[in-house]
């Protein structure tokens, strides 16, 4: 046919990327992916950002995708290049982030011969991707690219890896991009079942102490307005899981904050008293439930999720609804009765507000040194809660989640499910590339920052204006906290040396600011915001500060430690009894 | 049925894409999710490009539904049915090589006839028996052959199919799951 053009496999990949609306990719070249790289100059619309390590490429693509809602793309060569991607793939898989990873593979004739830089990457990545492909025929590339993007972004999103042997990239075949996909085994349900919707609405209408727990699904499905509508119409308080943060306006009167291990005390107590829980796009992670058998003992649960396997996996659902959160909430909103002003609801909200007052989880105490909570709270004030906040994993993540008031949707980006330290730098970089209109703050710990620190080179090279707030407590803080509570302050392998972050900033040609006291916090944040390029702000904070409240792993709400004093008491009684 | 260790034996049939790596994908999912496969049989189906698999899985209490749900999530898996509680035909095939001397040979042959099995190979010191049936029948013959001296046993694992007009592919109990199987179209109120 006349409109079918002959192309190399590498050209086909580029053509497909363009057709899928890709503008930027993060990658690292190498022998087996070179045919693809050498084709890139023919496609000036495809921007390539050279990272310093493939893990960085993966997290950057992930950060890009979470900030924009589009599919992020990472590229790596065969063997070590591809295996370096796996942490990022696992992170994206756990947090349902749509991503495409393109990896080079040794030529077909060398596969299985333990060739130089050969790894069975489809085998390696199988458990950490939604799906993956090894392309054995050049003519299959358009179909596979089409399918891969469709799978990555449809239903419950996730990472898809495409492994392409070098000779498949070089060989020519006819290119014809398919209009659709033919995947009989992949047909996600989008609309909720009408009967289930009615059942759920009935349960919500009759509830006296209802709660909404909103998860990442709300953000992925961009169901901000629908969730707001449901909450306001029914007058039900909204709890947001870690990754659900920024799915509901942080300054809304019905906003409750985060539940779970480091959740604000009132959330856990309210969950304990609730009679109906509407769980939306969340998966009852153990960090949310604690001991499952004591979680929400009085509640009937309406569970809305696009992935049927999430329903009933950890917690039994009384009304399961499979579907896309945005669509299901639209349906649900048509059936629930407006009960915002009903006496029952008012009474329940009064009860919840009383819990909030009695459990001042967000109170920042007076301290000699600079408290990390104060920094997060100040960051929230100065940025008016309007920046994109990207965190790694650990104490800084929890403090940011607790003290930053997110006003805009999808502005909190964090590694939730996998808990990937080192996520903060490359993911912030990706988020900033995707959202040049927003200020992106990477809130980092001194530990995680050093895990992917070479990406500062990428940021400098590409002039990506990310602002870094390092909460430096000279420890691997969260591990130190566990050692404090569970191992009688035996600090093994947690005291941490850091480079001089100011000199590091200088070495990368960035602005560096160091803050040691409260008075310096606000001005430094202002100064960083005003600067047109990347900035590293190091906050030297109190070393032995812990995150509270805390429910120790595997325990239930009534074993929550709310304040350090109580923790010390618990430790003493432990010592006394042992 | 629940056994002594509190686990239940579940029989699941699935229609899957006939492509390289699919078996690996499925087996890897089972291992990763800590599901215990007792047997797994694979072969072509009536449709080109699709294979049919029969799984027998030992599931912990409460996780029976998770097994089918996680299977359904795999892109290469087209349809899944748990037929454990349905009328079904379940068979296994085995080849049993047993020691046979001139004195024991006729006794072995008698047993084989009672079990409606076949002798498929004869050598001076052994016989190969082919038997088809449910696991209990095969177990029983194996028990009887043991005293003669078992040289080698090869079993296929269970293959199963629902009886009569019931098609395995349309037998999802769960309302939500049946809804999914219909491609998202509501199938009316119950």
Q: What is the rounded distance in angstroms from the CA atom of residue B96 to the CA atom of residue A457?
A: 66
Pick among B176, B180, B186 to test the A interface (most A CBs inside 10 A): B176
- Residues of A known to be catalytic: 54, 116-117, 166, 478
Q: Sorting pLDDT into bands at 50, 70 and 90, what band is A400? A: very high
Above pLDDT 70, what percent of chain A?
97
**Can you give the pTM of this predicted structure?**
0.93
- Whether A169 and chain B come into contact, CB under 8 Å, resolves to no
Pick among A148, A189, A319 to test the B interface (most B CBs inside 10 A): A189
Q: Looking at residues A422-442, what average pLDDT do you find?
A: 98
Q: Looking at residues A37-57, what average pLDDT do you find?
A: 98
ipTM of the complex in this document: 0.89
Cα of A558 to nearest chain B Cα, Å? 26
Residues of chain B whose C-beta is under 8 A from some C-beta in A? Answer: 16-17, 21, 24-25, 28-29, 32, 65-66, 69-70, 72-79, 175-177, 179-180, 183-184, 186, 189-190
- Whether A184 and chain B come into contact, CB under 8 Å, resolves to yes
Residue B184 clears pLDDT 80, i.e. is over it = no
b/e map of A442-457 (b: 16 or more CB within 10 Å)? bbbbbbbbbbbbbbbb
Q: Sorting pLDDT into bands at 50, 70 and 90, what band is A4? A: confident
* DSSP per-residue letters across A131-168: EEEE---GGGHHHHHHHHHHHHHSSS--EEEEEEEHHH
Which pLDDT belongs to residue A9?
A: 98
* Minimum CA–CA partner of A183 in chain B: B75
Residue A375 clears pLDDT 70, i.e. is over it = yes
With a CB-CB cutoff of 8 Å, which residues 106-125 of chain A face chain B? 122-123
Q: Tokens 């906003």 label which residue?
A: A255
- CB-CB under 8 Å, B75 with A151: yes
Convert the pLDDT of each residue in A299-322 to its tens digit.
999 999 999 999 999 999 999 999
- CB-CB under 8 Å, A134 with B28: no
Cα of B61 to nearest chain A Cα, Å? 12
Which pLDDT belongs to residue B7?
A: 81
CA distances from A267 to A254, A356, B157 (A): 12, 9, 50
Residue B62 clears pLDDT 90, i.e. is over it = no
* DSSP per-residue letters across A381-392: HHTTT-SEEEE-
Of B77, B186, B189, the CB nearest to A185: B77
Which pLDDT belongs to residue B179?
A: 45
* Minimum CA–CA partner of A122 in chain B: B21
Which pLDDT belongs to residue B166?
A: 58
Convert the pLDDT of each residue in B22-51 to its tens digit.
999 999 999 999 999 999 999 999 999 999
Convert the pLDDT of each residue in A20-29 to its tens digit.
999 999 999 9
- Whether A321 and chain B come into contact, CB under 8 Å, resolves to yes
* Minimum CA–CA partner of A320 in chain B: B176
Q: Tokens 């591990």 label which residue?
A: A479
Q: What is the rounded distance in angstroms from the CA atom of residue A463 to the CA atom of residue A444?
A: 20
Q: Chain B partners of A189 at a C-beta cutoff of 8 Å?
A: 179-180, 184
Residue B174 clears pLDDT 60, i.e. is over it = no
Q: Sorting pLDDT into bands at 50, 70 and 90, what band is A565? A: low
Q: Looking at residues A175-180, what average pLDDT do you find?
A: 96
Residue B185 clears pLDDT 70, i.e. is over it = no
- Whether A189 and chain B come into contact, CB under 8 Å, resolves to yes
With a CB-CB cutoff of 8 Å, which residues 278-307 of chain A face chain B? 307
Contact (CB, 8 A) for A169 and A8: yes
- CB-CB under 8 Å, B190 with A185: no
Residue B2 clears pLDDT 80, i.e. is over it = no
Convert the pLDDT of each residue in A255-283 to its tens digit.
999 999 999 999 999 999 999 999 999 99
Q: Looking at residues A32-46, what average pLDDT do you find?
A: 98
Which pLDDT belongs to residue B180?
A: 45
Strands (E), A297-347: 300-305, 319-322
Q: Which of A358-362, A462-466, A488-492 has the lowest mean pLDDT?
A: A358-362
- CB-CB under 8 Å, A195 with B190: yes
Contact (CB, 8 A) for A91 and A58: yes
Convert the pLDDT of each residue in A496-545 to its tens digit.
999 999 999 999 999 999 999 999 999 999 999 999 999 999 999 999 99
Q: What is the CA radius of gyration of chain B?
A: 20
Q: What is the rounded distance in angstroms from the CA atom of residue A148 to the CA atom of residue A144?
A: 6
Q: Tokens 């037929």 label which residue?
A: B83
Q: Looking at residues A219-229, what average pLDDT do you find?
A: 98
Burial class for B45, CB neighbours closer than 10 Å (0-12, 13-18, 19+): middle
Which pLDDT belongs to residue B54?
A: 96
Which pLDDT belongs to residue A566?
A: 55
Q: Looking at residues A380-402, what average pLDDT do you find?
A: 97
Convert the pLDDT of each residue in A82-104 to its tens digit.
999 999 999 999 999 999 999 99
Q: Chain B partners of A126 at a C-beta cutoff of 8 Å?
A: 24-25, 28
Q: Chain B partners of A307 at a C-beta cutoff of 8 Å?
A: 73
Contact (CB, 8 A) for A408 and A440: no
Q: Chain A partners of B75 at a C-beta cutoff of 8 Å?
A: 130-131, 151, 183, 185-186
Which pLDDT belongs to residue A70?
A: 97
| Strand, helix or coil for residue B116 | coil
CA distances from A432 to A62, A247, A538 (A): 12, 19, 20
Residue B175 clears pLDDT 80, i.e. is over it = no
Convert the pLDDT of each residue in A27-37 to its tens digit.
999 999 999 99
């Amino acid at each position: 046919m006349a409109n079918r053009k002959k192309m190399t496999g590498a050209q086909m990949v580029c053509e497909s990327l363009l057709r899928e609306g890709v503008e930027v990719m993060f990658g690292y070249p190498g022998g087996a992916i070179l045919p693809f790289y050498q084709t890139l100059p023919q496609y000036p619309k495809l921007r390539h950002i050279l990272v310093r390590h493939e893990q960085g490429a993966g997290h950057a693509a992930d950060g890009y995708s979470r900030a924009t809602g589009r599919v992020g793309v990472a590229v790596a060569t065969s063997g070590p290049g591809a295996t370096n991607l796996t942490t990022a793939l696992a992170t994206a898989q756990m947090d349902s982030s749509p991503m495409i990873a393109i990896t080079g593979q040794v030529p077909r004739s060398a596969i299985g011969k333990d060739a130089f830089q050969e790894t069975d990457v489809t085998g390696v990545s199988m458990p950490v991707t939604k799906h993956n492909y090894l392309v054995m025929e050049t003519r299959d590339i358009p179909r596979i690219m089409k399918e891969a993007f469709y799978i990555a972004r449809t239903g419950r999103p996730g990472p898809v890896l495409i492994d392409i042997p070098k000779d498949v990239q070089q060989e020519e075949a006819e290119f014809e991009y398919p209009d659709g996909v033919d995947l009989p085994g992949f047909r996600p349900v989008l609309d909720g079942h009408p009967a289930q919707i009615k059942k759920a609405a009935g349960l919500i209408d009759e509830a006296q102490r209802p709660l909404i727990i909103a998860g990442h699904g709300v953000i992925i499905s961009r169901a901000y307005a629908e969730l707001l509508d449901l909450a306001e119409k029914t007058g039900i308080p909204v709890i947001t899981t870690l990754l659900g943060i920024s799915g509901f306006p942080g300054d809304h009167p019905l906003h409750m904050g985060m539940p779970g291990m480091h959740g604000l005390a009132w959330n856990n107590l309210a969950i304990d008293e609730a009679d109906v829980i509407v769980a939306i796009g969340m998966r009852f992670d153990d960090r949310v439930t604690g001991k499952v058998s004591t979680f929400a003992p009085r509640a009937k649960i309406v569970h809305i999720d696009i992935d049927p396997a999430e329903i009933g996996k950890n917690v039994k659902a009384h009304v399961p609804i499979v579907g896309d959160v945005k669509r299901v909430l639209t349906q649900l909103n048509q059936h629930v009765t407006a009960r915002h002003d009903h006496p029952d609801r008012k009474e329940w909200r009064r009860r919840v507000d009383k819990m909030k007052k009695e459990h001042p989880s967000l109170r920042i105490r007076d301290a000699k040194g600079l408290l990390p909570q104060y920094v997060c709270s100040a960051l929230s004030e100065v940025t008016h809660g309007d920046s994109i906040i990207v965190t790694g994993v650990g104490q800084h993540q929890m403090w940011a989640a607790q003290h930053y008031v997110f006003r805009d949707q999808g502005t909190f980006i964090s590694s939730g499910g996998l808990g990937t330290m080192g996520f903060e730098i490359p993911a912030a970089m990706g988020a900033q590339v995707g959202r040049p209109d927003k200020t992106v703050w990477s809130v980092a710990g001194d530990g995680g920052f050093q895990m992917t620190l070479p990406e500062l080179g990428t940021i400098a090279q590409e002039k990506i204006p990310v602002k870094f707030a390092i909460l430096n407590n000279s420890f691997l803080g969260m591990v130190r906290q566990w050692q404090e509570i569970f191992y009688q302050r035996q600090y093994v392998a947690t005291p941490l040396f850091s480079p001089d972050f100011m000199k590091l900033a200088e070495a990368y040609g960035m602005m560096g600011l160091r803050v040691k006291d409260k008075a310096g916090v606000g001005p430094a944040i202002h100064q960083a915001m005003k600067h047109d390029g990347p900035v590293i702000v190091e906050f030297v904070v109190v070393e032995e500060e812990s995150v509270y409240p805390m429910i120790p792993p595997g325990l239930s709400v009534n074993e929550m430690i709310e304040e350090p004093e109580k923790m010390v008491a618990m430790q003493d009684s432990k010592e006394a009894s042992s | 049925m629940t056994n002594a260790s509190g686990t239940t034996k579940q029989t699941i049939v699935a229609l899957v894409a006939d492509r390289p790596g699919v078996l690996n994908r499925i087996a890897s999912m089972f291992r990763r999710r800590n599901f215990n496969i007792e047997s797994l049989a694979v072969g072509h189906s009536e449709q080109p490009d699709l294979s049919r698999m029969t799984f027998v899985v030992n599931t912990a209490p409460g996780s029976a539904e998770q097994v089918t749900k996680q299977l359904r999530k795999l892109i290469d898996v087209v349809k899944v049915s748990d037929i454990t509680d349905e009328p079904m035909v379940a068979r296994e095939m085995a080849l049993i090589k047993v020691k046979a001397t001139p004195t024991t040979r006729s006794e072995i042959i008698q047993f084989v006839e009672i079990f409606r099995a076949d002798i498929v190979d004869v050598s001076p010191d052994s016989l190969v028996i082919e038997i088809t049936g449910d696991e209990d029948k095969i177990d029983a013959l194996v028990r009887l052959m043991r005293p003669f001296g078992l040289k080698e046993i090869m079993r296929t694992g269970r293959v199963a199919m629902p009886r009569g007009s019931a098609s395995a592919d349309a037998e999802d109990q769960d309302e939500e799951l049946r809804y999914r199987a219909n491609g998202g179209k509501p199938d009316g109120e119950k």
